[in-house]
Amino acid sequence: MATYFFALRTKSLTNIGSEISYHATSGMKDPTAGSLVSECTGHVVGIDAFDHSQRMGLLQMAYPLKMMRQPDGHLTSCDLLHTSAGAIIFDVYENQDSRLIDLRIPDEVVQTFPGPAYGPQQLRKCHGFSATEPAFGTILKPTAGITPDDVSRLVEEAARCDLLMFVKEDENLYPNLDYSPVQERTARAVAAIERAREVRGDKGLVFAPHVTGTPHELIDTVHAVLDSGATGVMLSESFCGGTVRMVRKATSDRESRPAIYGHNAGIGVRTRCIWREVIDLLARLDGIDFRQTAPVRPGPPFIRPYRAEWEASERVLTRDIPGIRPTMIARAGGLDQGNVILNLVDAEQRGLTETILLLAGSAINSIKNADGVPDPGLGAEAMMQALEVHRPGDVGETTMNDHLAALWSVARQRGLTALAEALKQRYPGELL
């Protein structure tokens, strides 16, 4: 069952419901009762008009499984969106504004989806992180124009920080470059992680290279990086529907399956028409293990989601769905030493500590040392010092807007030089 918001130009919600039934399902206006065509025809099940014109409000459509289920009972996210988000919903002139805001899928269909291979509990268990221990990740910087040697150096610097459970390439670093082939980058990264094993102790580290391309290229790339030792892969399914499930299926026979980071680059071009929690639900069902939302931070948000959209997205990624593991939330997009405590507090208050990955890119890899050189070690040390401030709750009672000033004061009073330097670089002009 799909729920839509519509603002129509001339027709009523009832009229558009009939149009959707005709164009999105059987193409018959009055099919014979009991016929196969009738079983494959959708119908309106609810209307909630917002005004007397009956042109604006909510419309609920029921779509018959008979028209899309395959013989073994499964269907795909592409099938669901092809029907519930088709041309008659978004492409016709009459529909001045339209949104797909909710999608309800029967349990027996949901359970045919693979879901995440790991989810937060298994990821933590596999890599030596307890349920209450903050798990961090980082992103390679620079994000483009780097060679396998650069990747080796950057990954080894990151791997020496045992806060990190996850390291990924950026979406701007493409797989098949003549100067930086992803298979070689991966092999160098895995070797770098191995060199840091003595420092990490029993802590594992997921490395996720960026895989993209046409479907046949993408699968070849996935197998190539896994053969080179990658423990994860990152792909942006916003622009290549169905690839997450394809990767899950193509790697299901491997002894060690990859953790999939379903990067949501480009999701904004879809959320103008489809609410984010619908997209995130389907991505979770298809098998992503990590999904970015947004960090808690004072002031205007840097990226979406925020407010109700943010809560709905995190809820759909983590709520109980029988037979489907939760997805690990990656708080990213401006997460840094100045707001990491706010995110830890929020996770603790909402019971989400186990399900959140704190993903900081520039805040770890771009903090400069005294020589003016980016120093991931310094950025990681600054993050650890922020955790030291959080544990005794030295800034726990401050408001969100006062948090940065309080943290800055504690950093200077306690001689936390790495933290103080990171705050100066991340918040120039905002510290007294």
* The pLDDT value given to residue 392: 82
Residues 6+ away with beta carbon under 8 Å from 185: 148, 151, 169, 209
Rounded to an integer, what distance in angstroms lies between the CA atom of residue 222 and that of residue 233?
Answer: 7
Cβ–Cβ under 8 Å, residues 359 and 292: yes
Place of tokens 């459509």: 61
DSSP 200-216: HTT---EEE-B--SSHH
pTM for this structure? Answer: 0.94
CA separation (Å) from 104 to 107, 127, 281, 312, 316?
Answer: 9, 34, 10, 15, 12
pLDDT for the residue numbered 32: 93
pLDDT score, position 363: 93
Token pair 């991505």 is found at 283
- What pLDDT score does 412 carry? 94
Per-residue pLDDT of the chain (432 residues; tens, 9 = 90+): 999 999 999 999 999 999 999 999 999 988 999 999 999 999 999 999 999 999 999 999 999 999 999 999 999 999 999 999 999 999 999 999 999 999 999 999 999 999 999 999 999 999 999 999 999 999 999 999 999 999 999 999 999 998 999 999 999 999 999 999 999 999 999 999 999 998 888 999 999 999 999 999 999 999 999 999 999 999 988 888 889 999 999 999 999 999 999 998 889 888 999 999 999 999 999 999 999 999 999 888 888 898 899 999 999 999 999 999 999 999 999 999 999 999 999 999 999 999 999 999 999 989 999 999 988 889 999 999 999 999 888 887 788 889 999 999 999 999 999 999 999 999 998 875
Q: Which tokens hold the place of 106?
A: 């029967």
Q: Which of 257, 259, 261, 283 is nearest to 270 (CA)?
A: 283
Rg of the chain in Å (alpha carbons): 24
- Other Cβ atoms closer than 10 A to 14: 13
**pLDDT for the residue 432:** 57
* CA proximity to 401, closest of 297, 303, 295: 297
- Beta strand 259-263 pairing with 232-236: parallel
Angle value at C-alpha 320, between 353 and 313, nearest 5 degrees = 65
Domains of the chain: 2-110 (3.30.70.150), 119-384 (3.20.20.110)
